[in-house]
Structures are given as C-alpha cells and as structure tokens.
Structure 1
Amino acid sequence: MFPAADRDRGPAWLGSAWDRAARQDEFPASAGWEAVAMIEGRAAVRDEGGRFLALDGWRGVCALLVVCFHAPVTGFAETNGLIRNAFLFVDFFFVLSGYVITHAFFEPLREKCEFGRFFLLRLFRVYPLHLAMLALYVAFEAARLAVAGPGDAFRGGTSLEGLAISLLMAQSFGFLDTLTWNYPSWSISAELVAYAAFAAVVVTVPRLILPLSAVAVVTGIVVIALVRGDMDAASHLGWLRCLAGFSFGVILRRAVWRPEAADEAKGQPIAWSLAEIAAVLLVVVFVVRLGGTILSVAAPLVFGLALYVFTHEGGIVSRLLKSRPVAFLGLISYSLYMTHAFVIDRVHNAATVVGKVTGIDLFVESTQGRGELIGPQGWEGSLVLVVIVAGTIVFSWITYRLVEKPGMALGRRLLARGGTAARPGSARAAA
C-alpha cells in the first residue's frame, strides 16, 4: 500500500509493531489523499486498518485559527470572538496528541519498554523544525545587528537568554516572564514533558496510566484556575496545561474508545452528523462565550468530548474534514503552527517599511487591548490577514518538505544505525 515506505524499510526491526507506530509520521504522497495526515494524528493508524483522518483535519483547522489569533490586524480577526479566544485551540492539540499517541504507542511501549527510543522518535519529530525556525530568527537578528548596529537586536523578545531557553526547549517552565523568539514553540516544549511522563508511566507502571492521568487532569485544571484565573498559561505553567490536556486524551483512548464504534457509526450517518454539528457548536460557543473567563480551564474536557465524537467519523462534518483541502492543512499543520510567527513578524516589518516610504501610518491601536495592529481600516486588516495566512501556508509546505520529513527520516536512520545496542533509554537502563 505504501511502496515508498517499503523501499526504505531498512533493518528488520522496522517491521515490528513498535516500528509501524514509529513510522506512521510519514506516508508518501503516492499513497493518495487517504494517507494525508499529520504529526501524532498521522501516527493514529488503527489496528483495524483505518486512520483518524477527521482528527487530522481538525489539526489543520485549529492551526489556522491560531494563526489568525496571533495576526496583529484589524477587521474580522479583531472583532470575531472565535478568533479572539483561539489561543484555546492549543488545548485541542494537547488532547488530540494524548489520544493518538496512546493509540499508536501504548502497546509497543508496554511490550518493548524502550523509553529512549520512543522519546528520540518524538524529539526528531518536533525538534528539527523548531531548530530551523530558531536559525531563521537568529539570522534575521544578525542581519539587524550588521545593518543597524547595537540596538534592539538580540534584546527583549530575541534575547540571548531566551535563545538558550528555546534551544533547551524549556520555554514553558517559567524561567522568563514572557515568551521569546518563536513564541508558539512553548507548546512543543510542553509536549516533550507530556511525552516523557507518558512513556515513563507506560514502561514502569502501565496499570496506573488511568489514575495518574486523572490526577494530572484534575491537578492541571485546578492549579491553573487558581494561579492564572483562565487557561492562557504559556511561559508559566504551560507544561502543566499541556499535561492536563494530553492526559485527558490518554483517558479517552484507554477508558472510552471502542474499536468497533467507528463501524457502528457508519450505519447511522444522520445521527452522527447531528452529533458532529452539536460538537462543533459546543466548541464554538465555549470558546466565544467562556474563552476569557475562569471556565476556560475546562477546555480539555470540552475539546475532549468533541474529539471523541469525531473519532467515529460517522457524519457529514467528518467527510468535510477528510476532504483534500482540509487534509492538506492537516498534513502541514505542525509547520503552520511553527512558522506563522516568523511570517507575521516579517509582514509587520514590511508594513513598517511601507509606512516610512509612503508616509502613511499603517498601524492603529487595538480597541480590544491587543496593542498595535496593522490596518487603519478594517478591510485593510482583513486583506493583510489573507496575506499572512497565504504566506504561512506556502512557507509551511516548504518547511514540511525540506525540514519535517527529512528530520523524521534522520531520526529513524540514527535509531536504526544504533540497533539493539544503542538503546540507552530502555526501561531497565532508565531504572
């Protein structure tokens, strides 16, 4: 079914159940659009032969909403409640990640007890693009330093201290009061914590995965509610926010999911279409009405309910999410998430230059407390938003092809080259 993957299979261990779970992150385009999926979602290869393609579509949709949330523009993005509170869709990523990582890796991890191999596979899934984007930011700051001399270069949001923390993937631990450099990457650093915690439990005390996950969910929600007052935790407690969402995804997969449920749903398309529409409405109303309140800490629970509905893929919304355009967004969703801040910053630079050249001030102060925005008129801001989204999509396709896929392949080659002897992270070695 996947000839390109078969040609590059390499050592025999790549054919095991463990390595099928490890290799699911990359399906060749020749396999058709049915194989288009993303990050952990692409890992969600059902034992029964299907994939959670609707969830991959959700990743693309959520990534675009986060792009719109960060875009400093007037118009639709400033006034729309869904976009204004779209920071919450990061929690959808966390829940989905916990669900599909559990689906793909729980049994291989429990059987093989290879903590190190699992963690390195996940690290090579996320770190190459993170490193590439940091390199772009550093190159831009170096150019500023060379052209303008000492000033704002390597200061503030692009400080050397922030660079060190970003390289170490420690952005979500509170070492700095604000996010720096490629600011969306805080959630990737938090995901690494969730990966490590998940694998540690599975290889040591797998029977406790559900109670420990429940503790993580409750602790995360309560602590963030008490300390923050809403779910917008990133540089501080971002790791706990991720762990809560990830853990709820683990619970959904281990305690609720039934392998026969999807087949049963196919026989009730009208009922599941209504359920999917209700789930979408629930998410929209929750984000719009409660996104800025203390009740936003319930995001993992709300998104988890919606996610569970869409794992059945039984309704019309699922069919839309599995369509080619949305599937493509799912394919590049990690790149969308990791590259959009750089694109936004460069658009901001361009607007500044245009303003200086023409004498027209292209910036206004936000009426929603979001600082300086591009677009004196709302339609101008909306036009800039289209440019940002389009530019991010194009750039993300490039980084997916040139960074993400080679990074995953490199990780697999290094692990294959190490063979059985290079397994320092096994459960016994870790103990």
Structure 2
Amino acid sequence: MVVFYHARAAIAGWAGPDAIALFAYGYLAVDLFFMLSGFVMWLNYGPKLRAAGLAGAPDFWWRRFARIWPLHAAVLLALIGFVVVLLATGRDTSGYPLGELPLHLLLAQNWGFTDALSWNHPAWSISAEIGAYALFPLLVLALRWESLPRPALWALVALFALALWATFTAFGAQSLGEEITRLGLVRCVLQFAIGMALANLWRLGGTGWAPGVVGVVLLGVWSGTGWGETLLVPLGFAGLLLALALSAGPLARVLGSRPLEWLGDVSYATYLIHFPLFVLAKIALADEGARVGSLGFALYAAVLLGLSHFAYTRLEKPAQRVLRRWGPGRSHGAVPAE
C-alpha cells in the first residue's frame, strides 16, 4: 500500500479512479506497522527486559540497530551517488540537502530537527521507530503489563488512542499523514504502545472475533463519514490486529503461507528501496506527463522485488549476524523476529 501510495499519481492513467482513491490512503499502512512493531517487540523482548531490567537495554538497542541500520545506510550511500550524478549534470538537488545528511545517517531526521522530508522520504518512519526502540525498555519497566487484567489493557489502548487524537487535534491536523516532521515521532510511539498492550491481550486470549468486528465498524464509520481518522483508524486497526493474531482458521493459514511470509521477510527492503527506485523508474519510463504505463510499472515492481530479495539475503541478514557478534550481549542464539 505504501508503494502504491507513492506511485499513485504516475499510474493514474491506467489504475482507475477507485484504485487511486484507495491508494491515497496507503500512508495508513505505516500506522498498522507501528502497532504491529510494538506487538512483536513485546512478544520477543518484553519478558527478557522485565527479567534483566535496564541492564538488558543496551543489548536490545544493539540488536535493533543491527536489524535496521545497515540497509538504511546502504540506501543512503546509493542516494549519495545519485546526488553526485545530479550535481555533475547540473540537475536540481534541493530534495537532498547535504546539511541534513548526518541526521539521516544517525536516523534522527524525524525527531523535530527538520521541516520537510528529504533524501529517502519513507525512512522518516524508521527514524520514528528508533525513537520507540529507545523508549521501549522504559515502557516495559514502567508497568507490569503482563499482570494487568483485560479491562485495564483495553483502557490503555483507548488512552493511547485518545492521546494520539488529542495531540493531532492540538496541532490542527485531521489526518495521520499530516505534519510528519512534527508529529511522526509521537504518532509512532503511541501506536507502538498500543501494540504492546495488544500483545498482552493476545497472551490472555479468548476474545474471538469481537475485536475485529468492532474494528471493522470503527473503520466503516471513519470511511463513511470522513470524521475521526486520528482516533477511529488506530482503534480500528487495534481491533483487527488482535482478531487476526488470535485467529487459527483458514485466514490465518493464508496469511501464514510461504509467499506472504516471503513478502514479509523482504518488506523492510521493499519499504526502503521503493521510493528512490521509483524516482529512477520515472526518469527512465515516464512520459511527458510524468505517467508510467502498466508495463513499465510491472517492470518496476519486478525489479523492486528482486532487489528486495537480494538486499534481505545478501545484506540485511549477513550484516545483522556480524553486528550481533559485536554487541553488548554477544549472544549467538536465534535471530530475533524481523
């Protein structure tokens, strides 16, 4: 959805108005990712950090750095080469401010230091994720999440969602996609915290499809009225995520199939690579109206998936293994969840 969101203007000539209208909401997939990230981080690291306390935080932080940074750095290096070509040919480089490059290298570009997205635009959410990772050990130790009863956990979900809505409302933002450089970090952290609460609800089990039904209703109200995106969409996603996580039926088997598992494996590479690759695709394939035809887009998608697989298998995983050997924990156990 994020790929189609960024490509929607260029493919409007053949994708159809209904599809383009749907793709215009592709930015919301990032909000589901933030929530899912908090869910997965709790399941993989919450109990370990509870047992180790803050002494376990450096190992957690290093593991996340080893997972996130190498591919990000590789994409930035490729973009630096692209900028050199732009400068050599007298092209515009305003979208790649050299003064902000250190922030991007440190993944701090979306911590309130900049006014606009630049370089690899989608990496703003990775910068926000780093902020959530920094806070995660403190969030784990702030509450005994695993001891909270179900009503208290649902109350936390509602509280975090209301805090998100109140923050966006205070800034005059009606959409989760607005004010990314100012609100992206809080958008991530609060939905990450919702994911942590959902992981503990999942651990308790037994809710069936009720949360999913409520989630669909909330998303339907938002879709039908256009009101309350910053409140109803996070709550709707929360209900759907928990229902799907608890499901063990045919839908769960489809979502756990090998092709979709592979797409999940390579999704981080797809996310980081798709935007700069589409810039190149438009240079090579777009017509005078900046439109890319269906065959050209199919070629772009094939190259994107091929590069994603290569980056995952030949860069991400090897770099992660090497860096983990140098980390504070120096653990050689199973590679943590993606």
* TM-score (norm. length: structure 1): 0.66
Structure-2 residue corresponding to 1:198: 136
Q: Give the equivalent residue in structure 2 for 1:358.
A: none
Residues in 1 aligned to 2:35 and 2:261: alpha-carbon distance in whole angstroms: 19
Q: Is the 8 A contact 2:219 2:233 kept in 1?
A: no
Match of 1:116 in 2: 58
Measured at CA, do residues 300 and 108 of structure 1 come closer, stay the same or move farther in structure 2, by a change above 3 Å? Answer: same
| Residue matched to 1:229 | 174
Cα offset, 1:201, TM superposition:
2.9
Task: Trace 1:16-415 onto structure 2 (pairs within 5 A).
Answer: 65-71=1-7, 72-74=10-12, 75-76=14-15, 79-80=18-19, 81-113=21-53, 114-146=56-88, 148-149=89-90, 151-152=91-92, 155-203=93-141, 205-207=142-144, 216-227=160-171, 228-233=173-178, 234-254=180-200, 256-258=201-203, 261=206, 285=220, 289=224, 294-351=228-285, 362-364=287-289, 373-375=290-292, 380=293, 382-415=294-327
Deviations 1:338-392 (A, max 9, x none): 110121111011135xxxxxxxxx143xxxxxxxx414xxxx2x33332332221
Q: Distance in 2 between matches of 1:124 and 1:179?
A: 24
- 1:286–1:414 distance in 2 versus 1, CA, 3 Å: farther
Other structure's SS at 2:174 match: coil
User: Contact 1:130–1:338 at 8 Å: present in 2 too?
Assistant: yes
State the one-letter code of the partner of 2:274.
Answer: H
Letter in 2 for 1:183: H
Residues 137/106 of structure 1: CA separation in 2 closer, same or farther (3 Å cut)? same
Whole-Å separation in 2 of the counterparts to 1:161 and 1:79: 40
SS at match of 2:186: helix
CA shift for structure 1 position 283 = 8.6
- 5+ residue gaps, structure 1: 1-64, 266-271, 353-361, 365-372, 420-431
Distance 2:262 2:214 in 1: 23
CA 280–300 in structure 1, closer or farther in 2 if over 3 Å, else same: closer
Q: Deviations over 1:273-327 (max 9, x none)?
A: x997x6896697578556x754244322111111101112323222221122211
Take 1:184 and 1:302, find their aligned partners in 2: how far apart are those partners? 23
**Quick check: 1:131–1:167 contact (8 Å CA) kept in 2?**
yes
- 1:123-142 CA-partner distances (Å, limit 9, x unpaired): 11111111010001001111
Change (3 A) 1:388 1:163: same
For the residues of structure 2 that align with 1:387 and 1:283, how far apart are their CA atoms?
37
Q: Within 2, Cα distance between the matches of 1:343 and 1:325?
A: 23
Partner SS, residue 108 of structure 1: helix
How far apart, CA to CA, are the structure 2 residues paired with 1:124 and 1:279? 38
8 Å contact 2:215–2:238 — kept in the other structure? no
| Separation (CA, whole Å) in 1 of partners of 2:257 and 2:214 | 19
Specify the structure having the higher radius of gyration (Cα): 1
Report if the CA contact (8 A) 1:218-1:244 is conserved: no
Q: Distance in 2 between matches of 1:402 and 1:408?
A: 11
Structure 2 gaps of 5+ residues are 147-152, 332-338
Distance across 1 between alignment mates of 2:22 and 2:220: 8
Q: Given residue 118 of structure 1, which amino acid in structure 2 is its aligned partner?
A: F
- Measure the CA separation in 1 of the matches of 2:16 and 2:184: 25
Instruction: Determine if contact 1:94/1:191 at 8 Å carries over to the other structure.
Output: yes
- CA-CA distance at 1:214 after TM superposition: 6.5
* Number of the residue aligned with 2:150: none
Query: Hey, what's the Cα distance between the residues in 2 that align with 1:280 and 1:212?
Result: 16
Distance in 2 between the 1:213 and 1:196 partners?
A: 21
Q: In 2, Cα distance between the equivalents of 1:166 and 1:314?
A: 41
Letter in 2 for 1:243: V
**Distance in 2 between residues matched to 1:134 and 1:78, nearest whole Å:** 34
| In structure 2, C-alpha distance between the alignment counterparts of 1:287 and 1:172, rounded to whole Å | 28
| AA matched with 2:265 | L
Contact 1:99/1:249 (<8 A) preserved: yes
